[in-house]
Amino acid sequence: MNMLLLFALLGPHDEKVVVHTIEVKGAEVTWTVNVGIVRLGKEIRFPATPMDLSEVQLQSMKLEVAKFLLARIALDADGREATPEAGRLEPGYDKLPIPTGEPYIGHVIQQFVFRAGAPVQRLHLQADFDDDDFPSTRSLVFVRWPDRDGDKSLPPHTLAGKFRLDVVRAMPQSSGRTALEFVKWGMHHIFIGFDHIAFLLALLLAATRLGEMVKIVSSFTVAHSITLLLAALDVVRVPPAITEAMIAASIVYVAAENYVLKEAKHRWALTFAFGLIHGLGFAGVLQERLEGLDGIVLPVVSFNIGVELGQIAILLVAFPSLAFLARAKEVPEAGRRRLLLRRVGSAPLGLLGLGWLLFRLFQWKWLSWLG
């Protein structure tokens, strides 16, 4: 296994996520980019591996790092193009998830300063970090207007792939609007989280009664709520690559078990165990979005409510067809139809889970379309 793959698997920094923090002070805009060292290593030849790279060696690569990043970002302020100037470069340290806990430079934090001719009220941001090795980039964008009245922060944005973003200075939103923002984000995440949907569908295929389905969904809810909150509080921290691989493995296991499972009345316990893992997956996309907010309880609870509303919507879509096949338990034909549905439905879900697992373990390019 090569060194880049080792750190992609073990490092807690998610190489598919680039964090942008934009701070506006009058006519000056500071754009800070936080990007994984493994990602940079695909384009920049560092003098050492991440494990051995020193801060002095990193600083020697400042021009190359700035050039790489500047080619991928652009900004104009109030309709006027602003010229960037490279600022400080800082190392971001992570620790290996092994007993030694040895630190290494897992990501870099590069600052750029844009100077406009007048106090800035509107920004137009552009960035493109997609490439062949990392085709499914997620960008977390935080914009702040600090002034004498405090930190005027806008809600964070989560964007996929190449993006263009317009932001206008605004006062902090109310608690109600914050809650609504995170409820919507929770629903959005479950609807685009195809691995979470596949896991739920694989579980529901074995349920024959509404009560069993409710127990499964409720168990999943309680479990991922626990780890979501613990991860948001930074009590539990698991590298994203490991979490994503375990989520994919959970799909494979449940789909395979569907071929031998006789009844699903005790499946809520298995769901609870795997739900703890999926909660870490939810936390991975939520944690950095909490940056800059005064508190985490309201956003975390609101996000969780959004996830639950999304799961209920999925259940409402899936239940009618499953209930139709399960409506007459004592009729042999209905039993055969249920068994056929479970086996036929589990096959593509299991194959998808296996594809995700192989891609997340080995980063095979021919599986990159799975994301």
123 lies in the same domain as 188: no
Cα(339)–Cα(341) distance, integer angstroms: 5
Left (φ > 0), alpha (ψ -120 to 50) or beta: where does 101 sit?
left
208 lies in the same domain as 279: yes
144 lies in the same domain as 246: no
Cα(256)–Cα(253) distance, integer angstroms: 5
Last residue of a domain, one of 132, 154, 172: 172
Distance from the Cα of residue 136 to its chain's centroid: 11
Q: Which residue has the tokens 């971001």?
A: 92
pLDDT of residue 88: 93
Alpha helices for the chain (secondary structure H): 3-10, 37-41, 55-60, 62-70, 175-192, 194-204, 210-232, 240-257, 267-286, 297-326, 332-362
Cα(122)–Cα(328) distance, integer angstroms: 62
End-to-end CA distance of the chain: 21
Q: Judge whether 243 and 280 are in contact, CB under 8 Å.
A: yes
161 lies in the same domain as 192: no
Ordered DSSP codes for 68-117: HHHTTEEEEETTEE-EEEEEEEEEEEEE-SSTT--EEEEEEEEEEEEE-S
User: Number of folded domains in the chain?
Assistant: 2
Neighbours of 106 (CB within 10 A): 22
239 lies in the same domain as 322: yes
66 lies in the same domain as 16: yes
213 lies in the same domain as 98: no
pTM: 0.57
200 lies in the same domain as 344: yes
Strand-pair partners of 92: 107
123 lies in the same domain as 186: no
Q: Judge whether 85 and 113 are in contact, CB under 8 Å.
A: yes
pLDDT of residue 86: 92
Distance from the Cα of residue 121 to its chain's centroid: 30
Q: Is 291 helix (H, G, I), strand (E, B) or coil?
A: coil
- The series of mean pLDDT values per 10 residues for the chain, 371 residues long, is 43 70 90 90 85 89 93 88 88 75 86 88 87 76 68 65 79 70 85 85 79 82 87 80 88 89 78 88 72 72 88 81 57 65 86 87 65 59
33 lies in the same domain as 15: yes
Last residue of a domain, one of 172, 200, 222: 172
Which of 20, 18, 35, 32 is closest to 114 using CA atoms?
A: 32
Q: Which domain holds residue 346?
A: 177-370
pLDDT of residue 38: 83
Last residue of a domain, one of 116, 143, 172: 172
Neighbours of 70 (CB within 10 A): 15
153 lies in the same domain as 243: no
CA distances from 243 to 14, 36, 118, 126, 173 (A): 11, 17, 46, 30, 33
122 lies in the same domain as 195: no
> What single letter denotes the amino acid at residue 212?
E
Q: Judge whether 101 and 95 are in contact, CB under 8 Å.
A: yes
DSSP strands (E only) in the chain: 17-25, 28-36, 73-77, 80-81, 83-95, 103-115, 122-127, 138-147, 150-153, 157-160, 163-168
Cα(158)–Cα(172) distance, integer angstroms: 18
Angle at 216 between CA 213 and CA 221, to 5 degrees: 125
